[in-house]
Structure 1
Amino acid sequence: MTKAHVPPQAAGNRERVVSANVRLKDRVLGHGRIAQGGMWFHGLCSECNSMAGAHYDAAYADFSNAMLARVNLQQRLYLPPVRLAPARVARSIRIGMFATSPHLRVMFRGLAEDLRNRRDRITMPDGASLRLAVCLDRRTRLAGMYNAVRVIRHIEHYDVFSEVYFRPLAWALTPNGRGTAQHADQSVVEKQGWAVVDHWLQYSEDRTAADLRSLCRAPLPLVLHPLNGHDRDEWMEFMSDKVTAILEGEIPA
């Protein structure tokens, strides 16, 4: 496995990001050594890592940088007139998400093969959705399979197969089809109105100038990670030390 930066280095994920591994030992969460060098895991083989870098990561960086320049916290313009290559952006972040957890290659083997072989149009597998929101927080987070439940005052749940929080964007690969309206009402992602961008994978790689306003039906929500709020003590976290890796960090001012 090779060193895979998620999101790509060209999107600002370079030496200036200070980050640390969060490890689970004896059922206790703790931080590993803090180091500079961006958000990355040894999670992709050299072939897939190089393929993403050669074909998709520049498009992701262009989109991220355009959003950072356009999004205004005071005006709350979270669906700006930004042009992007939807298929290339979605492929970049999806390949990166496979680096966060080896278990995803077992769960979504067909999607992994489609991405590796650069199939013309790719369909998201049943049971998963790719979600997008705006995150202007300098705190960063990269994680594999993770679940949190809010148990005080009211019940909420936050379930992800993979998550990437790196200003100005937040991405989550979430389970779908929970089957009841109650569960949907309790989902943090649903309540915040994260955009579902599964269809971006179905565009041709040659489509390089689609308007974000035509790709999303509503403004993107401004979000923080649920555990970065003032009510962190109200949440219970569930993860596996065998399949979940977490990297938390900060982009210096």
Structure 2
Amino acid sequence: MNGADSGVVAGKWYIGGMWVRGLCAECNSFAGAQYDTAYGDFATRLWQWLQVGTRVALPSTQPVSLAPGRVSRAILSGMLGISPHVRVLHPSLADQMYKGGPVALPGGLSLRVAIYPGKAAMLAGPMLTGLLDGSSGAINTLATVTFRPLSWALVTTDTDDMLAARGWIDATDWLRYEDDREAHDLRWLAPHGLPVVHTILHSPSNDGMQLYSKDIAPLMRGRIP
């Protein structure tokens, strides 16, 4: 099936990062002021540690500090921008983010995270990948953000168990931390360390079939030089 038959139109590659017009100016400014610096600091420290870890035998638990509440809410605010459909399905989630402070995910959802050291990047809204391994399993996500050094997924209960079996850390409780919790040791939040994944969820492969609607699932792929 070619692109014309499938209804999928290939996009263009642009230099200048990955972004979407998904949040209003007020929410975007609030997220930037409250959360983005904390996320950037954590990502920088983690990446620096990983670069050393490729040359020196270091323990699997990463001795990196972070503000778990602000880091997790930074990624969740981005997911609400990438996937406006989440705000339709779970309006209480958007209301909590607008008020600021700790967030409780609606029942049936969880936030998962893993280390991703690759150069490819992807932002995606609701997608489902049916596994072709005879298990009848599927990876069902409402939003995913993969940008070195981390990969995040807002997942439904059925997929939560599958990612847990693959070692992805449950970061749902990170959302409950107050903004003023500046430093927390990652080794306490993830005693066995964050797992390293080398493939992006929903990447085209012979092991699965990707299903999504271009009307509700924005999909952006990029590459870090």
* TM-score between both structures, scaled by the size of structure 1: 0.80
Q: Secondary structure of the equivalent of 1:79?
A: coil
Q: Quick check: 1:225 aligned with 2:200?
A: yes
Q: Which amino acid aligns with 1:237?
A: Q
Q: Which residue of 1 aligns with 2:214?
A: 241
Q: Percent same amino acid at aligned positions?
A: 36
Q: Which residue of 2 aligns with 1:105?
A: 87
- Quick one: which of 125, 141, 157 aligns to 1:144? 125
Q: Quick check: 1:193 aligned with 2:167?
A: yes
Q: Which amino acid aligns with 1:106?
A: V
Which structure: greater strand fraction?
1
Equivalent-residue separation in structure 1 for 2:201 and 2:83 (angstroms):
21
Listed as ranges, the gaps of 5+ residues in structure 1 are 1-23
- Quick one: which of 73, 77, 94 aligns to 1:91? 73
Q: Which amino acid aligns with 2:216?
A: V
Q: How does 1:97-136 map to 2 (within 5 A)?
A: 97-118=79-100, 120-136=101-117
**Cα offsets for 1:217-249 (capped at 9, x unmatched):** 4321111214558xx123211001210010001
Q: Which amino acid aligns with 1:242?
A: D
Q: Which residue of 2 aligns with 1:49?
A: 28
- Quick one: which of 17, 40, 50 aligns to 2:19? 40
Equivalent-residue separation in structure 1 for 2:207 and 2:88 (angstroms):
33
Which contiguous aligned blocks of 4+ residues in structure 1 show a shift greater than 2 angstroms?
A: 24-31, 72-79, 152-157, 226-229
Q: CA RMSD in A?
A: 2.1
Q: Which residue of 2 aligns with 1:205?
A: 179
Q: Which residue of 2 aligns with 1:16?
A: none
CA contact (8 A) 2:164 2:170 kept: no
Equivalent-residue separation in structure 2 for 1:78 and 1:157 (angstroms):
29
Listed as ranges, the gaps of 5+ residues in structure 2 are none
Structure 1 residues 113 and 63: alpha-carbon distance in aligned structure 2, compared to 1, 3 A threshold: same
Aligned length: 219
* TM-score between both structures, scaled by the size of structure 2: 0.89
